[in-house]
Structure 1
Amino acid sequence: MTPTHDDRPDALADRHVPDFDPVAADDATVTGPNVRITVLSARVLRLEYDPTETFEDRPSQLVWYRDRPVPDFAVTRGDDRLVVETDALTLEYDHGIEAAFTAETLSIELEDGTVWTYGDENEGNLGGALRTVDEVDGAAPLEDGLVSTDGWAVVDDTDRLVFGEDGWVEPRDAPESSEDLYFFGDGQDYETRLADFRAITGEVPMIPRWALGNWWSRYWEYTQDELRGVVEGFDERDIPLSVAVIDMDWHVVDNAYHDGWTGWTWNDEYFPDPAGFVEWLHDNDIKTTLNLHPAEGVHPHETQYADFAEFMGIDPDSEEPVEFDAADPQFLRGYFEHLINPMEDEEGVDFWWIDWQQWEQSPEMDGLDPLWALNHLHSLDRTRTGKRPFIFSRWPGLGGHRYPIGFSGDSYISWPSLRFQPHLTATSANVAYGWWSHDIGGHMGGEGDPQAFGELYARWTQFGALSPINRIHTTKHPFVDKRPWEFDGAITETLEDALSLRHELIPYLYTMAWRDHTEGVPLVRPMYYHHPEAEAAEESVHQYYFGSELLAAPHLSERDDETNLARRSVWLPEGEWFDFVTGEYHEGGRWLARYGDLADLPVYAKAGAIVPMDADARADTENPERLRIVAFPGADNTFDLYEDDGTTTAHRDGAYATTEFAQTFDGDRLTFEIGGAEGDLSEIPDERAYELQFRGVTEPADVDVEAPVEAETTYAAEEATLTVAFDAVAVEEGLTVSVTAAGESLLDRRDRTRSHVETLLESFRTHVTVKDHLLADFEPDGVAWLAEYVRVLSTVQLRALAETITGAGVDVLDHDDADRLVVWNPEDAPVTYQFSAFDWTEDPFRMEHTADRGDAPAFTAFDVHEAAVEGEVRLEYDGVFAVTAESEAEEKPEH
């Protein structure tokens, strides 16, 4: 039942209390001595132990929905044994030994034979999210997630607070020995695990459409005119922008009461007309947020102090501060009514950056994390005016998926920090937390070299374009300026391209947001979600699925001086794949080494992929009048474009439109249909122009168009792209394009090795005569011919040529603080490997040596387990030259 409310001053507003449904159906529960088992699904059990048999039916901070459809299950009872069996698992509780949960009394067997015993460690846990990357340069330890190669997960809800009748949380009244556990037994079906979790904890809200555009953020003492100048700079250069963040100096900092981080009063020296400035932002299609550090409460220097103090029963003349208290419903109600809501209503603030960095436990209530309280209440408070639940805050632990979006914290400006962010983003799907906002470009630190920083910033921004939220940010440092136009040449061009791409992708991203909201599938997902049996899936932690159609593997390492290119290893799963930009065909089930200049952004589309894009990368994020649909051959597919008003909760009542794109592929023929828009069409254009791009196709023999408007057809051979452009047509109208190949297949499978070698040579730092001879001597079969160039090329250059020609390579992957040395050779080239490692033993003067060698296989990986291990893989090509990948310990172990 939903907690009831009245008009008492200590009750929270109705909007602050969700519509809970916490009491399970009677026929879903099974009781035994001191225990209650609730069958929430065939794969999910609630396990309660209470010596008083007073079990908890109120919603907890995490679990809100226990009244689930009851699956079929069987119960067997003996004198001292209870068995509960579903289609997916079997629970045994042997209370004859002891009426309590112990390793001897409680176990669950999954349908594949896996057995969980109470107290087992989840050794195969694949990680989750974290609260913050503050003060971490590089990787940070992740908390456990819900996904595990063990096939099961257990969530302990025992110590979480429950919601009381006043609508706010309170401690449980339960014996100290009681337990409240949730067991998930989904095996390797990781997306089902997430669906089961969200079924009992709640959905991910639909985020606003404008949040998917580019954000500008800087911790800086901006005046409103200075910040206006930044926004105008983006507009003058046609660089799209949708959000301008105003960091903490929007409010009065200097005061007689505290250090100034908390504040509620506009600094009129910087912002003499805050409402007018925010209105100007809105007129220019820019949303805004204010940074909050609310821990110090409200003091007498604040304009809101007198009213808030009286509301709290404090005499304003006493100048007694209104202390922050997340445990007090009265304070919390006043917090919104006197601080938050007026600034939204009077100044037009769109949402709040809740930058909580203080204590994790409320001093007034044991077990209450103020960060969770702020996230929960701020998110729900937005719904008072029909807006969607949306905040910008740190991750508060399990259940945080209900409060998008996340601020990962103050990252360092470094390559290791950039390399960690894709891993963190993807792995957070394991706790259903799909909407991260990172400090793109890094928050603090750095070496101050403009050129080196520019490369790092450009690569970070490319990742930002392919991440959930793209928020450029930096700290208050005069020597770090991230305005895209403040760089030279290629860096500025790369930044502009990435930021434009981001806005072009919004139709695709917004549809993925709907998918996350309705189906529980995050935008960014680890590779092992779709390939749980593939060893390579767990190794490739720095690449990820980006929506339903794409695989992203952005460059995360700096350019090499000898090649003038960045390098990264990519694993393509089984199937057929295409380079999203060039249309180049790749057979899957293999690794490859990719070399690219600053403009290179590795994104791959699966066979049959359909990606709708905004044909105009504009500052606003509205439903587009011109739509570019990028499609790839090789498979049948459908894609339902989702559109609505972008801001309100009207979608819950069906106020949205969908347009189906359907492709059928039959080797030498492809048919693509753009269906008429259906549903509520009030928020989409009456007419829409379409540009349909088929990438990765051969030049066709025939293109047949069925449409009520004119279409223009062009073919670009170098990009293997056929474009069919339509004039504007009513969105209710359907269009059909049929493409017939000139040969046996529409797939452009031509070998582009020579072209890649030419690109390498163009970038190499070596004499042009050497480049001429290399290209003249080029042979696609093997690299024995490179023997003549061993003395004139560097090892790095030889490696780039060998990996490109043979497809065989080696790399060291940093994976959760344990390096992995990987080798691949998908074409069975004449390549041998030699692995060696040195482990420190218990004797501080001795090391243990491990070695392995042989012909390089299609794929293998070597563990480098501890921080005190050195490892190396040496790869020899055709017996001509060798390259190595090394992992070296930072320090010896302590003895």
Structure 2
Amino acid sequence: LFGYGNDYKTALKTLTTIGGSVPMPRKSVLGTWYSRFWNFTDTDYRDLVKQYKEHDFPLDIMVLDMDWHRDGWTGWSWNYKLIPDPPKLLADLHAAGLQTTLNLHPADGVGPHEDQYKAFMEKIGEPADGKTIPFDVANEKHMKALQSEVMAPLKKDGADFWWLDWQQYSQTRSIPSLTNLWWFNEFLMRDTSVGGRRGLAFSRWAGWGDHRHPIHFSGDADSGWDMLAFEVPFTSVAGNVGCFFWSHDIGGHNGPRNEESYARWCQFGATSAALRSHSERNPITDRRPWNYPKWGEDSMRISFHLRSELFPYIYTSTAQAARDTVPLNRPLYIDFPTDEASYHNAQEYLLGDDILVAPIATKGVGEGRVAHQSVHFPQGFNWFNTFTGEKFEGGTDALCAATINEFPIFAKAGVPIPMQPYTERMTSAPLSTLRLRVFPGVDGQNGESHLYEDDGDSDGYTKGASASTDLRYTRASNDIEIRVGATKGKFNGQLANRAYKIELPATQRATSATFEGKAVAVIYDAATSTNVIDIPARPINKATVVKVTVADADFQALANKAQAMRMTALTGRTFAPQAPRDLLKSAMTSGLTSDQTTEALAVVGVGMIRKNLSPTFTKGEIRDIFYAPEGILDEVPAVTTTSQSRAQIRFDGQSINLPNAILGSDNIAPTAKVTLGSIQDGYGEGGVNDLNVSGYPINGRQEWSSGKNEGSTVRLSWDTAQSINRVALFDRINLTDHIRAGVLTFSDGSTIAVGELPNDGSTPADIRFAPKTVNWVEFKVTAVSEISESVGLAEIAVFKAAK
């Protein structure tokens, strides 16, 4: 037993000291992927490559889902009807700068219909008489035959690695104590490392020790907002057990088409291990961004381009993860273990050392789809919004709004962020120009980072074939020095010369700049308050030092400009930059909907967030947190905590209630006895009236899941008669189980037909009626969606009639 207190980095390092190191993934898998469960032809795949280029989206990996092989879940032979010449297709994809992966469901073994059946059977010493040998990952002879006779020909055709999608059973046949998934992941790492390439096992997480087999994916997510909100902390805390490179079905594998959610998923994917878009066999959920409305396509293009530009930083952080055993996406407490707030903000994470991300996971308002997220800024540093240059002090908390074309992502002040110009092949394009973006540090600050490089594909990095370049920012008053150290180390394909582009955002126009003692030109972009200095290509083994005299921008002016932009996107009216209170006053002069009012307040940092304070975002204390920057409201707001908190605030003489919740102190459901007609194992009996509109995947015990569909019932009873006039029904938060109709029955014998419940996990069916005096009310499900498996309710609220 080893104990390290809150020294989490040392604890993680011990994990790999005992259990083996975390390998560097191939560079290509850290880029953007296109994946779809669809019967694409070879022409379709070639067209996809063209479309990505025509629509200005980067691409690095082309996934061939299970239709690459013949019919059935398990397949090892090309479907020549769809792909007549597989080697030619894969060669064309390679020539376009892409890597390829083939989907596998190997559980049914190698059947007699497979091209390599005879060779496989001969290799294991069995007659090729039409029988199928049960698949057994633990049988060494069988697996060596699979590798040499079945998989090797596919790799010869051009397959770069395998996507192990599922295996259908948990333990191996011949060694029941051996986990099938874990050992298969190990087998794939070994198979793909032949010839000096880095081993790669693209698969589900198999538990302790599987950190040796990256890259992983989380499975068949749905397209709902709650799933996105769950995946964010799920990703960062996965690193606590060694799952450092955790990818997802960006946009959701299944569920209805959710255009706005997909755009926000892409923002999350752009700042995680891989931007891997994927969807089920459904014509409306294809993840090609240009098949979405223009606002969605434009938003997604920003995310895809951001990933491309940030890739040198992401790859450097990936190397750090492998070298130092620290997750790529990690909870705040890994780096800030003594900051209590770092344990209570699982909605955000660090991407490497110097970038903080808090993805938006809620539906937006207005044409600009403005939404908000709470952000805690770790102490010891200032942080800058990389889209707008807004400055936030470390050790503070804020409510941060964002249009659909931005999201809360922040760079640590005074630290060089290594970047590259946009390229459509972010993982393979030579880094001929290194961009260094540095937001203003404090006077006297020395900020350091570095750039890591290697060939991206071979195991040469394990033998020292890599390079590192130190990057430094120093500040004395308004005198700034950016130093790019001489590159140390060598690897195959290394460039001898490189140009540099120094970017200083959130600054005023520079008064001077020099390189090697000579004045150099400075280009100032007033729209972004950024000074840019270009240094022509020069040997990388020589240090490059640029000195600039430049003052900080007016940070409040930058904040005013960003808030005016968001208010315009929210309301459709144009606002000039102005003080936050004045901006809000201008916005409130015209009729705003309740949703617009809530979001207009959030634009200037005012609002209420219901937050799970658990470090893992599940099964923790639920608390409503109110945010109000000084000087915006008329007075200190009154925040009351009932079934869901309400904040009564006054602004410009008006009284406003936030967050206009349907739950309130008049909800008597929590006082009732609950009787369920049925309940699915693992779900809580009290979840239907626990004041939490929640459930799986966040916490299954906070909802009612019936285990059945039509006929499911829930009854609320009181010992004394209650006068009621309203019932609110919240469907389960997953998007698969959906109630289409039901009936409310009351103890007085009356009934009310209920139509379809909103299938978004947060909006209730609000049923209002003339006051009734009753001892119980029962809801019965009478119709469900075709794909429902176990309907129920996330919450039911019953309201007292006013006296």
TM-score (norm 2): 0.77
Find the counterpart in structure 2 of residue 455 from structure 1.
260
> Paired residue for 2:18, among 174, 181, 200?
200
Q: Which amino acid aligns with 1:348?
A: G
Quickly say closer, same or farther: Cα 1:694–1:311, change in 2 above 3 A. Answer: same
Find the counterpart in structure 1 of residue 193 from structure 2.
383
Find the counterpart in structure 2 of residue 662 from structure 1.
472
Whether contact under 8 Å (1:790, 1:881) holds in the other structure is no
Matching of residue 716 in structure 1 with residue 525 in structure 2: yes
Whether contact under 8 Å (2:411, 2:439) holds in the other structure is yes
- Structure 1 residues 49-448: aligned runs within 5 Å: 183-253=1-71, 260-316=72-128, 318-344=129-155, 346-446=156-256, 448=257
Whether contact under 8 Å (2:637, 2:649) holds in the other structure is yes
Quickly say closer, same or farther: Cα 1:594–1:379, change in 2 above 3 A. Answer: same
Structure 2 unaligned blocks of 5 or more: 664-669, 671-686, 691-703, 705-715, 717-803
Quickly say closer, same or farther: Cα 1:264–1:512, change in 2 above 3 A. Answer: same
Q: Which stretch of the first structure deviates more once superposed, 885-894 or 601-610?
A: 885-894
Find the counterpart in structure 1 of residue 689 from structure 2.
892
Q: Which amino acid aligns with 2:307?
A: R
Find the counterpart in structure 1 of residue 547 from structure 2.
738
Q: Which amino acid aligns with 1:341?
A: A
**Secondary structure at 1:314 match in 2:** coil
Measured after TM superposition, the shift of residue 206 of structure 1 is 1.0
- Rounded Cα–Cα distance in structure 1 between residues aligned with 2:579 and 2:498: 49
Measured after TM superposition, the shift of residue 571 of structure 1 is 1.8
Quickly say closer, same or farther: Cα 1:720–1:309, change in 2 above 3 A. Answer: same
**Secondary structure at 1:360 match in 2:** coil
Quickly say closer, same or farther: Cα 1:662–1:887, change in 2 above 3 A. Answer: farther
Q: Which stretch of the first structure deviates more once superposed, 221-230 or 819-828?
A: 819-828
Find the counterpart in structure 2 of residue 611 from structure 1.
417
- Rounded Cα–Cα distance in structure 2 between residues aligned with 1:683 and 1:690: 19
Q: Which stretch of the first structure deviates more once superposed, 292-301 or 352-361?
A: 352-361
Find the counterpart in structure 1 of residue 701 from structure 2.
none
**Secondary structure at 2:460 match in 1:** helix
Measured after TM superposition, the shift of residue 493 of structure 1 is 1.6
Measured after TM superposition, the shift of residue 734 of structure 1 is 2.2
Find the counterpart in structure 1 of residue 608 from structure 2.
810
Find the counterpart in structure 1 of residue 344 from structure 2.
539
Quickly say closer, same or farther: Cα 1:562–1:282, change in 2 above 3 A. Answer: closer
- Rounded Cα–Cα distance in structure 2 between residues aligned with 1:519 and 1:396: 22
Measured after TM superposition, the shift of residue 454 of structure 1 is 2.4
**Secondary structure at 1:871 match in 2:** coil
Quickly say closer, same or farther: Cα 1:550–1:677, change in 2 above 3 A. Answer: same
Deviation string, structure 1 residues 90-137 (Cα, Å, up to 9, x no partner): xxxxxxxxxxxxxxxxxxxxxxxxxxxxxxxxxxxxxxxxxxxxxxxx
Matching of residue 481 in structure 1 with residue 292 in structure 2: no
- Rounded Cα–Cα distance in structure 2 between residues aligned with 1:810 and 1:510: 37
Q: Which amino acid aligns with 1:891?
A: V
- Structure 1 residues 23-38: aligned runs within 5 Å: none
- Rounded Cα–Cα distance in structure 1 between residues aligned with 2:586 and 2:303: 40
Whether contact under 8 Å (2:465, 2:489) holds in the other structure is yes
- Rounded Cα–Cα distance in structure 1 between residues aligned with 2:559 and 2:487: 43
Find the counterpart in structure 2 of residue 633 from structure 1.
440
**Secondary structure at 2:315 match in 1:** helix
Find the counterpart in structure 2 of residue 874 from structure 1.
647
**Secondary structure at 2:147 match in 1:** helix
Quickly say closer, same or farther: Cα 1:369–1:875, change in 2 above 3 A. Answer: farther
Whether contact under 8 Å (2:488, 2:541) holds in the other structure is yes
Q: Which amino acid aligns with 2:241?
A: V
Whether contact under 8 Å (1:209, 1:646) holds in the other structure is yes
> Paired residue for 1:509, among 314, 323, 335?
314
Whether contact under 8 Å (2:384, 2:410) holds in the other structure is yes
**Secondary structure at 1:557 match in 2:** coil
Q: Which stretch of the first structure deviates more once superposed, 651-660 or 216-225?
A: 651-660
Find the counterpart in structure 2 of residue 151 from structure 1.
none
Whether contact under 8 Å (2:366, 2:569) holds in the other structure is no
- Rounded Cα–Cα distance in structure 1 between residues aligned with 2:654 and 2:307: 44
Measured after TM superposition, the shift of residue 478 of structure 1 is 1.4
- Rounded Cα–Cα distance in structure 1 between residues aligned with 2:601 and 2:515: 45
**Secondary structure at 2:74 match in 1:** coil
**Secondary structure at 1:338 match in 2:** helix
Measured after TM superposition, the shift of residue 381 of structure 1 is 2.4
Whether contact under 8 Å (1:578, 1:606) holds in the other structure is yes
Whether contact under 8 Å (1:390, 1:403) holds in the other structure is yes
Deviation string, structure 1 residues 578-618 (Cα, Å, up to 9, x no partner): 11122222222222222222211221011122211121323
Q: Which amino acid aligns with 1:484?
A: P
Aligned length: 656
Measured after TM superposition, the shift of residue 723 of structure 1 is 0.7
- Rounded Cα–Cα distance in structure 2 between residues aligned with 1:210 and 1:670: 36
- Rounded Cα–Cα distance in structure 2 between residues aligned with 1:706 and 1:788: 51
- Rounded Cα–Cα distance in structure 1 between residues aligned with 2:438 and 2:587: 44
- Rounded Cα–Cα distance in structure 2 between residues aligned with 1:524 and 1:624: 24
Quickly say closer, same or farther: Cα 1:725–1:753, change in 2 above 3 A. Answer: closer
Quickly say closer, same or farther: Cα 1:607–1:324, change in 2 above 3 A. Answer: same
- Rounded Cα–Cα distance in structure 1 between residues aligned with 2:528 and 2:579: 24
Measured after TM superposition, the shift of residue 765 of structure 1 is 3.7
- Rounded Cα–Cα distance in structure 1 between residues aligned with 2:563 and 2:452: 42
- Rounded Cα–Cα distance in structure 2 between residues aligned with 1:409 and 1:190: 28
Q: Which amino acid aligns with 2:624?
A: L
Deviation string, structure 1 residues 639-689 (Cα, Å, up to 9, x no partner): 221111111011122111222211112232221111222211642222212
Quickly say closer, same or farther: Cα 1:563–1:882, change in 2 above 3 A. Answer: farther
Measured after TM superposition, the shift of residue 884 of structure 1 is 2.5
Aligned residues: CA RMSD:
2.6
Deviation string, structure 1 residues 723-761 (Cα, Å, up to 9, x no partner): 11112222223221112245xxx4653344543443244
**Secondary structure at 2:362 match in 1:** coil
Quickly say closer, same or farther: Cα 1:804–1:535, change in 2 above 3 A. Answer: farther
Find the counterpart in structure 2 of residue 821 from structure 1.
624
Quickly say closer, same or farther: Cα 1:519–1:715, change in 2 above 3 A. Answer: same
TM-score (norm 1): 0.69
**Secondary structure at 1:676 match in 2:** coil
- Rounded Cα–Cα distance in structure 2 between residues aligned with 1:612 and 1:337: 42
Structure 1 unaligned blocks of 5 or more: 1-182, 254-259, 838-869
- Rounded Cα–Cα distance in structure 2 between residues aligned with 1:335 and 1:251: 16
- Rounded Cα–Cα distance in structure 1 between residues aligned with 2:9 and 2:18: 15
Q: Which stretch of the first structure deviates more once superposed, 301-310 or 696-705?
A: 696-705
- Rounded Cα–Cα distance in structure 1 between residues aligned with 2:535 and 2:517: 9
Q: Which stretch of the first structure deviates more once superposed, 555-564 or 514-523?
A: 555-564
Q: Which amino acid aligns with 1:587?
A: E
Find the counterpart in structure 1 of residue 683 from structure 2.
none
**Secondary structure at 2:230 match in 1:** helix
Find the counterpart in structure 2 of residue 560 from structure 1.
365
Measured after TM superposition, the shift of residue 383 of structure 1 is 2.1
Quickly say closer, same or farther: Cα 1:801–1:315, change in 2 above 3 A. Answer: closer
Measured after TM superposition, the shift of residue 562 of structure 1 is 8.8
Matching of residue 883 in structure 1 with residue 654 in structure 2: no
Whether contact under 8 Å (2:389, 2:558) holds in the other structure is no
Q: Which amino acid aligns with 2:396?
A: R
- Rounded Cα–Cα distance in structure 2 between residues aligned with 1:207 and 1:887: 47
Measured after TM superposition, the shift of residue 804 of structure 1 is 4.5
Whether contact under 8 Å (1:687, 1:730) holds in the other structure is yes
- Rounded Cα–Cα distance in structure 2 between residues aligned with 1:373 and 1:633: 49
Quickly say closer, same or farther: Cα 1:498–1:364, change in 2 above 3 A. Answer: same
> Paired residue for 1:583, among 380, 383, 389?
389
